[in-house]
Amino acid sequence: MVSDLDDDNDGVADLNGAFPLDSSEWSDDNNDGIGDNADNCTLVANSDQTNIDGDSEGNECDLERFGKVSRLVDYPTNTDFPNTDC
Ligand SMILES: [Ca+2]
Ligand SMILES: [Ca+2]
Ligand SMILES: [Ca+2]
Ligand SMILES: [Ca+2]
């Protein structure tokens, strides 16, 4: 009966896990269908997982980072970045 409560044996009960049949995933904070462990941007829902620059973070998360980095790096197109956020 114990196995019935945790079909994938990841230590998270089926009722509590977002992925009861995937032992590598149990949570999906942004509810985009991609588990937190595989999600390249857990802060923003990005079900397509688009990642143009090929780093570890998806575009949705990169956009926020670019806004901050642009102030430290001398981008030639710096004036194109909005400076209203902080
Ligand atoms: Ca489980
Ligand atoms: Ca699971
Ligand atoms: Ca997700
Ligand atoms: Ca990226």
All residues with CB under 5 Å from ion ligand 2? 8, 10, 17, 19, 22, 26
What's the average model confidence in pLDDT over 54-79? 69
Tell me the pLDDT band of 76, cut-offs 50, 70 and 90. low
The domain in which residue 29 lies consists of 1-39
Ligand 3 centroid distance, CA of 24 (Å):
13
**φ, ψ (nearest 5 deg) of residue 80:** -80, -15
Same domain (yes/no): 32, 52: no
Same domain (yes/no): 33, 45: no
pTM of the model: 0.67
**φ, ψ (nearest 5 deg) of residue 28:** -140, 85
Is the predicted pLDDT of residue 71 greater than 50, yes or no? no
Name the closest ligand to CA 21: 2
Same domain (yes/no): 35, 11: yes
Task: Please count the structural domains in the chain.
Answer: 2
What's the average model confidence in pLDDT over 28-38? 97
Mean of the per-residue pLDDT values of the chain: 84
pLDDT of residue 4: 87
pLDDT of residue 63: 76
Same domain (yes/no): 46, 69: yes
Same domain (yes/no): 53, 15: no
